[in-house]
Amino acid sequence: MEIKTIQIKLQDRSWEQISLVNDNGMVVTFMEFGGIITEIIVPDRDGKKENVVLAYKDPEQYLTNPGYLGALIGRVAGRVQGAAFEIEDKVYHLDANEGDNNLHGGETGFHHVLWNIDTFVRDSELGAKLTYRSKAGEEGFPGNLDVEVTYTVNNNNQFVIDYRYVSDQKTPVTLTNHTYFNLSGAAKHTIHNQELKIDSNCFLELDNQLIPTGRLIEVEDTSFDFRKLSRLDRGFHYDYFQNKVANGGYDHYFLFNDEKHGSAVMRDESSGRILIVETNQPGVVMYTSNNLPEGLELTEGKTDKYFGVCLETQGSPASLHHANLPSILCEAGEKMHKQTTFTFEIEKH
């Protein structure tokens, strides 16, 4: 096992890029800026090791990062309707950075934070602890929020993200990671033929602004039924109105059947790679890069529609306006812990 660190130098600033390498040669690389994941290198069925996440070719792109590639997202992942919410009869107004709404915590959300990093090596795992204090009023959110995110890689080819946080005032929090997966390796193919299974019987309806209406729709007899492994492109050209509002794909919150142990499986037949996602988050946003800005230079080619899929395990910000969803409110002094594990396996011939 090994931890490698290099300095990324830009015109007016620099930051560290850290690689976590296990005994099998699996590599997870991230930056202290935004906690951004730029590489997850795992083998295919023939032993060829390739990057299975999207990353910009030029690090300067991360200063704006319009697609939120690989980033830690917070305080609140997703869209907050009207960039406002109410707690105990007091209305809080947030940065409206996407039309009238707040997206992914605002313009200077956690994806633009320079995190403090402490690395560690243990018997069969290694990792890094990322810490940050989000001060009261930052982006309009109440309370001083202390956040600790730990990235761990072990010798079972698992990448674990632990989110721990505590606030001195009642405040909404739901953190996630916005990595785009493409299991073909080096983004050789789009995700059309890659398959996904989600342990979910229902998803949240979206309006034309991609804001959840609060209505839960059963997946049965729709293009959102991923209870068995199904190709991702089943909804790309489907006439279903929910695929249409997402620009011909998915950008939807699936509520797990077990809110304390959710799971999803992604499979790429061409490479034999399998990704298993397990979490204690209540749901997952599945986003198939339908609105990813096109033509941005990546380490492998240029961005295009359906180039990757995000599996954003999280609570839903819609719970701030709809009481039928699991709450994302964190009480003052309440110590919260959420975890998501990404396990990489190989399917033999």
What pLDDT, on a 0 to 100 scale, did the predictor assign at position 293? Answer: 83
pLDDT per residue as tens digits for the range 218-232: 999 999 999 999 999
For residue 294, name the pLDDT band (cuts at 50, 70, 90): confident
pLDDT per residue as tens digits for the range 310-348: 999 999 999 999 999 999 999 999 999 999 999 999 997
Q: What is the CATH number of domain 2-346?
A: 2.70.98.10
Alpha-carbon radius of gyration of the chain: 19
pTM over 0.85: yes
What pLDDT, on a 0 to 100 scale, did the predictor assign at position 327? Answer: 97
pLDDT per residue as tens digits for the range 175-216: 999 999 999 999 999 999 999 999 999 999 999 999 999 999
Residues found in the chain: 349
Q: Which of 111, 112, 178, 252 is catalytic?
A: 178
Contact 142, 170 (CB under 8 A): yes
For residue 303, name the pLDDT band (cuts at 50, 70, 90): confident
Angstrom distance (rounded) from CA 184 to CA 164:
32
- Copy the structure tokens of residue 232: 């991702």
Check whether 110 has a pLDDT greater than 80.
yes
What pLDDT, on a 0 to 100 scale, did the predictor assign at position 178? Answer: 98
Check whether 12 has a pLDDT greater than 90.
no
Contact 154, 169 (CB under 8 A): no
Check whether 349 has a pLDDT greater than 80.
no
Average pLDDT over residues 112-117: 97
Average pLDDT over residues 146-159: 98
What pLDDT, on a 0 to 100 scale, did the predictor assign at position 300? Answer: 84
* Phi, psi at 273, each rounded to 5°: -80, 140
What pLDDT, on a 0 to 100 scale, did the predictor assign at position 120? Answer: 98
Angstrom distance (rounded) from CA 33 to CA 13:
11
What pLDDT, on a 0 to 100 scale, did the predictor assign at position 328? Answer: 98
pLDDT per residue as tens digits for the range 24-62: 999 999 999 999 999 999 999 999 999 999 999 999 999
Report the mean per-residue pLDDT for the chain: 96
Check whether 243 has a pLDDT greater than 80.
yes
**Residue corresponding to tokens 């390796």:** 185
Average pLDDT over residues 119-124: 95
Angstrom distance (rounded) from CA 158 to CA 161:
10
Angstrom distance (rounded) from CA 307 to CA 300:
11
- Copy the structure tokens of residue 144: 């001083």
Q: ∠ CA(9), CA(11), CA(14), 5° rounding?
A: 35
Catalytic residue list contains 312: yes
Catalytic residue list contains 334: no
What pLDDT, on a 0 to 100 scale, did the predictor assign at position 295? Answer: 86
What pLDDT, on a 0 to 100 scale, did the predictor assign at position 304? Answer: 86
